[in-house]
Amino acid sequence: MKSVKEIVETGMCEGCCECLGACSRNCISMIYSLESGHPIPYVASDCIECGECVKACGNRQVQKAENL
């Protein structure tokens, strides 16, 4: 996956906020999702899709999908 935006879009985000500090460009902020009932990362448009935030995600489902 290119960024945590895709983790949210695939419904795998669990709202743990581990990705919040992972972006060196400060593209990630957490917003509350009424739909999921927990915080989700919002990725700003200046994201370069480097994937660093995906590596920081501790979600096992994501790690498995990415073979981490």
Point out which residues bind ligand SF4 (CB under 6 A): 3-4, 7, 13-19, 22-23, 25, 27-28, 41, 43, 47-53, 57-59
Q: Report the distance separating Cα 68 and Cα 1, nearest Å.
A: 12
Tokens of 34: 């009424």
Distance CA 31, CA 24 (A): 19
Q: How far is the CB of 24 from ligand SF4 (least distance, A)?
A: 7
What is the smallest separation between the CB atom of 56 and ligand SF4, expressed in angstroms?
Answer: 6
Cβ proximity to ligand SF4: between 25 and 64 the closer is: 25
Task: Tell the smallest beta-carbon distance from residue 67 to ligand SF4 (Å).
Answer: 16
- How wide is the angle at C-alpha 60 spanned by C-alphas 58 and 66, nearest 5°? 90
